[in-house]
Amino acid sequence: MSVVASTDNTRSKRGTHRRLPAGVADAAFASLATFAAGLSAVNLFNDVDRGVYALFFAAFGLGVVLPWELILIPAEVNAVSFPVADRMRRARDTFRMGVPMALLGSLAIAIAAFMSRSLTSSDVLWGLTITAAITTVLSPLQDHMRRLLHIAELNWRAAAVSGVQFAGVVVSLGVMLLLDAPVAVMPFGSLAIANALSLAAGLILGDVRHQRPLEEPLHFRALARQGRWLLTQALAPNISHFAVATIVTALAGAEALGYAEAARVVAQPVLVLATGLTAVLAPRAMEAAMHRDLQAARHNRRVYLLIMMGGGALYLGAAATPWLLNPMKYLVPAAYVVTGLVAVTIVANLISAAMYLDINELLGARKARPMAAVAIITSPILVLVALTARTTEAFARPVGHLVRDSAQVLWYRAKLKSHYAGQNGRINS
């Protein structure tokens, strides 16, 4: 390790706690943007169209996987290996390769359009299709810009970018409501506008235009070689998510999927907290795994899990049931139509959040291939549980996540234990 990199790492360790609020603020604004868009969907759509929106949202999750996993995440891992001052210099290379992949990924929306063609009107179908496709292109690029800012330790600039995103959603939704725009264009349309504005803000705040590319250029083939396993690891669950949405709709009706989607919106703050903490701790987690620094890895996990456990317990108590002082009872009433659905969804999200930091450690340890294997093995659990939807109805989706994610958490921890034991916990510098 170079002297410059070592100095950067020391400074990074000292500043981690100071940067955590920026990471949480960033994730909070970004999630509030998605929450506001989702809130418009679950409240303005009828029960059936809410389920159709959930199907398109699952396709959106599938579409962003291609650029994200194949190109953007491998590029971020590569950036972490450079001194902090040089990390933003990767931006031009990654955008050059990421944009075509994002365009290709947007074709996933056509699958949702085909699957829901008989469930809703043509106006709703076209409104969702066009706006969801645009959002699928812009969203991974905007997320990547924010993550690069975190990796370069420009954490508050990343928070400002997501602040622009949140403002963009709120203002665009307000304007569309005033203009009496079609409901179908509002959720994804507001996200598309917000992502375009926040991406532009990120490019400016990251000074990407004036960044000199590194002498060691990035090549598509090299990124794709690493990213193919990440893509496999992410495609398996996302294909399963889409299959679950389709199966629940077929067996229990679009209404049941709509209630599950409303509960997902309410439970989202758990993942917001996890995303915010991970945004700041992920570079440290990757570095710890790269150098088999067991002490640093344990410290990162301790900070992460203590905050997640405390925050998760508080939110479960506040939002799990429709009691008088629960604001979600009034904001997303559809989530509480099925008793216990929100509570199960929050617990499922807490288990999912438990592995966020582990995933970044495994990336730093270059364990993408075994991660892909475990994703392929465990993802069918989602589909198997979904097949019970005639009985479990709206619970089929969160229960599937709870079982699948529990298995993944156990596997990730075992793999990390083996990785650090390979050097008996010593730093390999």
Mean pLDDT in residue range 180-195: 94
**Does the pLDDT of residue 179 top 90, yes or no?**
yes
Contact 259, 83 (CB under 8 A): no
What token pair was written down for 283? Answer: 């570079």
- Cα of first residue to Cα of last residue in the chain, in angstroms, is 6
Q: How many Cβ atoms sit within 10 Å of the Cβ of residue 165? A: 31
Q: In the structure, what pLDDT confidence band is assigned to residue 394 with cuts at 50, 70 and 90? A: very high
Write down the pLDDT at residue 226.
77
Q: In the structure, what pLDDT confidence band is assigned to residue 181 with cuts at 50, 70 and 90? A: very high
| pLDDT tens-digit map of 51-60 | 899 889 989 9
**Does the pLDDT of residue 193 top 70, yes or no?**
yes
**Does the pLDDT of residue 15 top 60, yes or no?**
no
Write down the pLDDT at residue 323.
92
Write down the pLDDT at residue 124.
92
Write down the pLDDT at residue 219.
79
As a whole number of angstroms, the distance between CA 185 and CA 183 comes to: 6
Contact 59, 108 (CB under 8 A): yes
Write down the pLDDT at residue 365.
84
What is the value of pTM for the model shown?
A: 0.74
Mean pLDDT in residue range 179-190: 94
Residue identified by tokens 């029960």 is 47
Contact 238, 180 (CB under 8 A): no
Better-scored residue on pLDDT, 36 or 280: 36
Average pLDDT, the chain: 86
Mean pLDDT in residue range 96-120: 91
Write down the pLDDT at residue 425.
41
| pLDDT tens-digit map of 346-358 | 999 999 998 888 8
Instruction: Give me the DSSP letters along 57-108.
Output: HHHHHHHTHHHIIIIIHHHHHHHHTS-GGGGGGGHHHHHHHHHHHHHHHTTH
Q: In the structure, what pLDDT confidence band is assigned to residue 160 with cuts at 50, 70 and 90? A: very high
Contact 245, 54 (CB under 8 A): yes
